Structure 1
Amino acid sequence: MSSTRKKLYRVQTDFDFTGLWRWMMLVSAAATVVSVVVISIWGLNLSIDFKGGAVWEVPSKHISSDQAEQVLESFDKLGGAKIQRITDAEGTSILRVQATAAKDISESNEIRQALADAANSSAPDDAQIDVTDIGTNTIGPSWGKSITRDAVRALIVFFIVIAGYMAWTLEWRMAVSGLLAVAHDVLITVGIYAIARFEVTPATVISILTILGFSLYDTIVVYDRVRENAAKYDPSGKYTYNAIMRRSLNQVIMRSVNTSMVAILPPLAIFIVGGLMFGQPTMMDFSLALIIGLAIGVYSSIGVAAPMLVWLKEREPAYSRVRSRARARGIEAEADHIPKVDSWEVGVVPEGATRRRETAKVGAVERSVDQAATTAELAQKYDRAVPPRPRKQGKKR
């Protein structure tokens, strides 16, 4: 383990996070503006679950994408179509045909029959499929509107409940800055989907709602340590809230990074195995949003939630007076920086204490050796294994 990693794990680092906040906030602001503009102009690539349509899964390797396109074109349903080859868990090759223009069940059944005929036209006799082998799912536009409404409602309820919880357990300034960071994470994640034209499915919505919890967890870890340090350093009146936040981030940075890395591993495995190797679109949709959101959540807990809270707290009268006094005395830099935590606080024995401990051990060993030598001399003198006890004065043996 390198010396830097050792210092990180022993909380002996003193990174100047506050010096990075300006650049991190600029990056976040730019990403947020771009996300809003792209979502407003381009919109999202919604799946048929939101727009309505039909999906057919043809379990045959003898039908090509071109044949499927010809079938859809014959029914004038090629607009907005999506065709991809996937493999199920049993290794069967499936052609997944999706058309947002097909919203009528009877017409969907006709297309289903046409796809079966197209697959059988180029398949040998032992690979013929029946029309019932083709899985089909037709979704009306009303259902898509319903789940969109439910997702927005769940998001609003989440924000209300979390705002109340954080205001009650921590304070309202932490609730405001924490929710702004969560909104930042969701907005940029959705913006990435809009820019890359990733398809938004119900699995994507579930992932985004899951992101809210993970992002908030990282932020609360930081805020809880800030609260502890504020109680420790506030009575002195020497340090600004900026200094308390800097010290707190140095103490929890490795915990946040390690927790987030462990959290990212499962969705990454789902994305690689389920999405890339087996071509399961639902797994890919779910895991991709999680990976993006978790990565942004680590960034926002340091670069958005922390500076937002400092900006709010520094406007409190108590911390405003601390900064004014430090500025008047010319010691503002010292007030913005708490010295590194003492190594005693993290279980590391200082060098001087180590020398004293070693000296004490040597002294104890020497005394033990001297005592053993004295006992051996007395035993030899009295020709006994254990020498007699010295008698007390005034008493006869």
Structure 2
Amino acid sequence: MSSNHKNIKTLDFVHLSKYFYIFSITLTVLGLIFLAIFGLNYSVDFKAGSNVDMTLTKNLTAEEVTPILEKLEISKDADLTVGDQRMSIRFNEVLNETQDHQLKEEILKLDGGASFEVNTVDPEMAKELARNAIYAVLISCIGIIIYVSIRFEWRFAVAAIVALLHDAFMVVAVFSIFRFEVDLTFIIAVLTIIGYSINDTIVIFDRIRENLRFAKQKTTTDLHELVNHSVSQTIMRSLYTALTVFIAAFFLYLFGGESIKMFSLAMVIGLLFGAYSSIFIASPLWFVLKSKQKNKPAKAS
């Protein structure tokens, strides 16, 4: 057995958790401030407007297209992205039929072989998508609470859901702070992160429950040692799992297409937070809840 693994076994995970609590609380407060002031940088999936994607037969520049937008009087707040024989224009207002026709007509004068894909989201649809995304996260959390409460006990369920919500919110906070774009793939990434997070947490909780059957827990110190021992027995498995998925998500972010870039980035961020939340958030929180039970005076007969 390597000396590194022995060092991991001697770590006091419960004691170290207070530093991670401080870090997470700080980032949570910072995220709440940014969310309150700036909100999230929603893509066309979540806010009203039109997105025009063009596949071109030659490369057009922004300088060539901007006069067209000014001529049509629809350049206000338009976001123009130019790529290799591709172009995308994001409008914060829904294009009417006349504007849509005129825009295509003018672009075809510059590139007769251009093809168009127009995605439009009206205000009601945008609100419904945002609402459904919140429902998806909440329903998944409720399902996990019920499952963990039945399989383990309510203290495990509380600790698991706090770690789970922590991971999901950390991703949201980072996206708000750095103004990364939030689209539908972001919601898929958050739900995926929730799955990975609860999986790691359940593995550690299962080991804690197994050790509880055979260990003596006369004092809080006994419980403290039991949690540290349980985490040390499962930490390498958790780190290896997180690392393998992290590497895949990281290279997917570097070399993947634009359509999955935000999904990959959200996965990378979520996996980093999820890797430590199961170890330094969920397990120590269960210890705090369980130790309060230990400290309760016995009822008089």
Answer yes or no: same fold by TM over 0.5. Answer: yes
- 1:23 is matched with which residue? 19
- Tell me, which stretches of 5 or more residues in structure 2 are unaligned? none
- 2:284 is matched with which residue? 307
Question: For 1:261-340, what aligned pairs fall within 5 Å after superposition?
Answer: 261-274=243-256, 280-317=257-294
- 1:195 is matched with which residue? 177
1:16–1:246 contact (8 Å) kept in structure 2: yes
- 1:3 is matched with which residue? 2
> Secondary structure at the residue paired with 1:62?
coil
Gap change, CA 1:180 and 1:223, over 3 Å in 2: same
> Secondary structure at the residue paired with 1:57?
strand
Which one-letter code corresponds to 2:284 in the other structure? P
- 1:13 is matched with which residue? 9
- 2:232 is matched with which residue? 250
- 1:166 is matched with which residue? 148
Q: Distance in 2 between matches of 1:238 and 1:74?
A: 74
Q: Does 1:186 align with 2:172?
A: no
Question: For 1:1-397, what aligned pairs fall within 5 Å after superposition?
Answer: 3-5=2-4, 7=6, 13-60=9-56, 61-86=58-83, 93-117=85-109, 119-120=110-111, 128-130=112-114, 133-234=115-216, 239-274=221-256, 280-317=257-294
Q: How many residues align?
A: 296
Gap change, CA 1:304 and 1:78, over 3 Å in 2: farther
Which one-letter code corresponds to 1:108 in the other structure? D
Gap change, CA 1:210 and 1:23, over 3 Å in 2: same
More displaced stretch, 199-208 vs 148-157: 148-157
Q: Distance in 1 between matches of 2:108 and 2:223?
A: 69
Aligned-pair CA distance for 1:67? 2.6
Which one-letter code corresponds to 1:193 in the other structure? F
Q: Distance in 2 between matches of 1:154 and 1:175?
A: 19
Q: Distance in 1 between matches of 2:268 and 2:177?
A: 16
> Secondary structure at the residue paired with 1:234?
coil
Q: Distance in 2 between matches of 1:138 and 1:151?
A: 19
- Tell me, which stretches of 5 or more residues in structure 1 are unaligned? 88-92, 121-127, 275-279, 322-397
Q: Distance in 1 between matches of 2:95 and 2:119?
A: 10
2:220–2:291 contact (8 Å) kept in structure 1: no
Q: Distance in 1 between matches of 2:101 and 2:276?
A: 49
2:62–2:80 contact (8 Å) kept in structure 1: yes
Aligned-pair CA distance for 1:94? 0.8
Q: Distance in 1 between matches of 2:202 and 2:83?
A: 41
Q: Distance in 1 between matches of 2:223 and 2:217?
A: 12
Aligned-pair CA distance for 1:302? 1.6
Gap change, CA 1:52 and 1:208, over 3 Å in 2: same
> Secondary structure at the residue paired with 1:83?
strand
Q: Distance in 2 between matches of 1:242 and 1:105?
A: 67
1:58–1:116 contact (8 Å) kept in structure 2: no
Which one-letter code corresponds to 1:20 in the other structure? L
Gap change, CA 1:142 and 1:110, over 3 Å in 2: farther
CA deviations over 1:129-150 (Å, ceiling 9, x no partner): 25xx222222222222221121
Could you say which structure has the greater relative contact order, defined with CA pairs below 8 angstroms and 6 or more residues apart? 2
Aligned-pair CA distance for 1:163? 0.4
> Secondary structure at the residue paired with 2:216?
helix
More displaced stretch, 226-235 vs 76-85: 76-85
Q: Distance in 2 between matches of 1:152 and 1:205?
A: 9
1:45–1:197 contact (8 Å) kept in structure 2: yes
More displaced stretch, 256-265 vs 238-247: 238-247
Whose radius of gyration is greater, 1 or 2?
Answer: 1
Q: Identity over aligned residues, as a percent?
A: 28
